[in-house]
Structure formats: structure tokens, C-alpha cells
Amino acid sequence: MNHILTANQFSKEEINKLFKLTDKIKVSPPINPLAGKILGTLFFEPSTRTRWSFETAMLRLGGQILSMESAGVSSSTKKQESLKDTFKTVSQYADILVIRYPDVFQAAVTYSEVPVINGGESDNEHPTQALLDLYTILQYFPNPNKTKILFTGDIVCSRTVRSLISLLKFYDFEVYQEDNRRKFDNFKEECEELDNLVTDIPILLPKIDILYMTRHQEERWTPRNKSKFQLSNKLANTMKENAIIMHPLPRNKELLEEVDQNSRAVYFKQVKNGLYIRMALLLVVLES
């Protein structure tokens, strides 16, 4: 069985294969390859993009969906059922599951009798977001060569940043982060070297190729400061002409709507790519 639980599970070869399939799907989506299959989505945390993009992906591939939002109150978890029992139960109905959970659920996955895709796990992992983020980055920078990426916002609690960082290790990126309160294992040296450079973001912006912003995750408890950085269109225009501005969304006040018109803004392209990446993932998992 082919679970997708962490960004770390992918080899560069697998990523290349997945992205080639995604390119193909974009140009000419296969007709009903998943007819007769059912995707179950079980979300214990709010979601707009991840749940709908998976569900749309399944429908576009000819499959069907069983959807449970607010699973914390609408599933038997509310009656103190264990996650293991819930996983075992829902896997009797669906052929594949996408699960979003506010804590670690990897152990419970072993009780599922069908493949499970991690749709966002605490502040820890969001592998499918990382894949669509990387796919988007490579569209603009197909051959990264000391390409500079700066992460801003709630680095400590952002699962999208953590998962994306795991994938960047296959390519030649220089990783910067807004502050030094948490180091990424893979990029420890770089982060240590660059700590001082990234305290003043507007000064660094003109040198950056990719700005990856995140919102402050109010819902998560971890002592940390709130980033004061806010991107206006004026500030965005100080970036290189071919730089890109990314955000997994949802955004709050860190990214002003006026930036949407800026040619560097690609966050809604990320949303669209999310659909194609998830179509490819469903095909790979269900047809393997």
C-alpha cells in the first residue's frame, strides 16, 4: 500500500516522474481513469483548498467522493472513538483517504486498509502542498542555481514550510528564513550564516528570487513572536523583475490584496497547480 505521509518519502526520481505526469494531465487529462473508485476526505481542521482540490481532482478523474468536514465534531471521534478505529472503519468504505488532523496520526495509519494521504498534520507536515509548491517553483526556475528563497511569517508553526524545505534539498537553493528561532536540519549551516541578513526583510527582498510567505497560525500553541512583515505592492516592486511571490494561503494581513495584480504574484497559480498535482497523486497511488 502506498501511503503519502511525509515529503521526506519521495526520491528525486519519483518527484520528476510525478511532475511529468502532472504536465501531461494539464495538457490532456485522461478520461475517467478512476471510474468506480471512491475518495474519502476526513478533515479535523478547516480547509478550503486542500479538501476541494482533492475532491475536484477525484471527480475530474471520473471517481466519486465521500466528504467529511469538521470531522472532530461530526465523526465518532466526538464519542471518544480512537483514531485507529476511525481509520479502520472509514477504510471499509473508501478506496483512498485524505486526512487532515491537528496532531500526529502516522501510527494510526497502519490501521487503514486503504492508502492514506496526509492532507496536513499539526505543524509538522503537508507533503502534497510541498509538491505543488515545488512544481510551481520549477515552472519559474527550472534549473535552480543558488536560487534564493526566503520564508517569512510563522516559520515555527508552518507545516507547508517544513515539508517544502525537505524537497528543496534535491536542488541548488539558498534558503533564508525570517528569523533564527528554529533551524531546519537540512539547512542548518545556511541558516546559521544568514541569521543576521534576514532580520530586515525589505533590505534582503531585492536579492531574493522566491518569497514564500505564511500567515501567523493563531490556532497553534507554541511560544513565538508574531512576524511584523507585511508585503505591499510598493515593496513587491523592489524585487527582481523575474522573482516570484508565493503563499500557500489562506492569507491574513501579511500579504495585501493590492499585490495580486503584481506580475510576481503566483499564489493563485499554486492553487491551480494543486489540482493537477493531486490528480497525478491520486492516479499514482490508485493505479500502483
Known catalytic residues?
A: 49-50, 79, 100, 126
**Are the C-beta atoms of 260 and 236 separated by less than 8 Å?**
no
Residue 7 engages ligand NCD in binding (rule: CB under 6 A):
no
Q: How far apart are the first and last CA of the chain?
A: 9
Closest CA to 136 of 167, 159, 114: 167
Q: H-type helices in 61-173, by residue range?
A: 71-74, 83-90, 127-140, 159-168
Q: What track of x and - describes contact with ligand NCD for positions 168 through 207 (by CB under 6 A)? A: ----------------------------------------
91 in contact with ligand NCD (CB under 6 A): no
Cβ 45 to ligand NCD, closest distance in Å? 7
Examine residue 160 and tell whether it contacts ligand NCD (CB under 6 A).
yes
Does 272 participate in binding ligand NCD (rule CB under 6 A)? Answer: no
Q: According to the binding rule CB under 6 A, does residue 41 interact with ligand NCD?
A: no
CB 156 within 8 A of CB 210: no
Cell numbers placing 167: 524537497
246 near ligand NCD, rule: CB under 6 A? no
**Cβ distance to ligand NCD smaller for residue 2 or 217:** 217
Nearest approach, Cβ of 98 to ligand NCD (angstroms)?
A: 11
Please name every residue paired with 96 in a beta bridge, in sequence order, or none if there are none: 39
DSSP string for 23-38 = HHHHHS--SSTTTT-E
Q: Does 129 bind ligand NCD (CB under 6 A)?
A: yes
Q: Which helix (H) or strand (E) holds 193?
A: helix 188-194
Residues that bind ligand NCD (CB under 6 A): 49-50, 120, 126, 129, 159-160, 214-215, 217, 248-249
